[in-house]
């Protein structure tokens, strides 16, 4: 297992490719279900995710958990940083305010949720309209088709590493 808190991005290679560093949160309940969110204004289910502006992957993940889900860092226990790196290009470049990017380089961090509930009214963004807990098999079936290949890869890694046994 990797040490948490260590930067995982190679700034030079990301800047050359104009890829935005991104972190996705794989949050499990103690029952082994995964938390997915429905994009506001769309019928798309996905993992909470966001850009890494500064700091470590774990810090960026805590920030996204608060912004998109209203979850406090005290309600999340880091379990693992997955090896899988999802690199993808956008259909058209996107301006994120600080720079225009042509795609994203996405890491996945696994957490155990130890809170009592996910309350979207505590969010600081309106990116998700709904959340729900699903099994790993349901997760792959209901997720956004564009993200399915990456999500299938992380499910394989979660199973291979027996991460559910660590919850």
| pLDDT tens-digit series, residues 71-82 | 999 999 999 999
Distance of CA 136 to the CA centre of its chain: 15
List, for residues 102-149, the tens digit of each pLDDT value. 899 999 999 999 999 998 888 888 899 999 999 999 999 999 999 999
Q: What share of the chain is helix, strand, coil (3-state, %, to 5)?
A: 30, 35, 35
Distance CA 112, CA 27 (A): 6
Cα separation of the two ends of the chain? 15
Architecture of domain 11-166: Alpha-Beta Complex (3.90)
What are the structural domain ranges in the chain? 11-166
Cβ–Cβ under 8 Å, residues 22 and 104: yes
Place of tokens 């956004």: 144
pTM of the entire structure?
0.86
List, for residues 6-18, the tens digit of each pLDDT value. 334 444 444 456 8
């Amino acid at each position: 297992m990797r040490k948490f808190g260590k930067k995982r991005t190679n700034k030079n290679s990301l800047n050359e490719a104009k890829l935005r560093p991104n972190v996705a949160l794989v949050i499990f309940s103690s029952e082994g279900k995964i938390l997915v969110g429905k994009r506001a204004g769309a019928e798309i289910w996905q993992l909470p995710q966001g850009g890494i502006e500064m700091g470590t992957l774990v810090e960026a993940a805590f920030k996204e958990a608060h912004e998109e889900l209203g979850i406090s860092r005290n309600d999340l226990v880091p379990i693992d940083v997955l090896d899988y790196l999802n690199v993808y290009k956008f259909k058209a470049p996107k301006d994120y305010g600080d720079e225009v990017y042509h795609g994203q380089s996405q890491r996945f961090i696994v957490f155990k949720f130890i809170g009592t509930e996910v309350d979207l009214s505590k969010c600081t963004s309106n990116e998700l309209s709904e959340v729900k807990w699903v099994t790993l098999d349901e997760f792959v079936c209901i997720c956004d088709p564009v993200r399915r290949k990456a999500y299938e890869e992380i499910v394989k890694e979660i199973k291979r590493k027996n991460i559910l046994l660590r919850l």
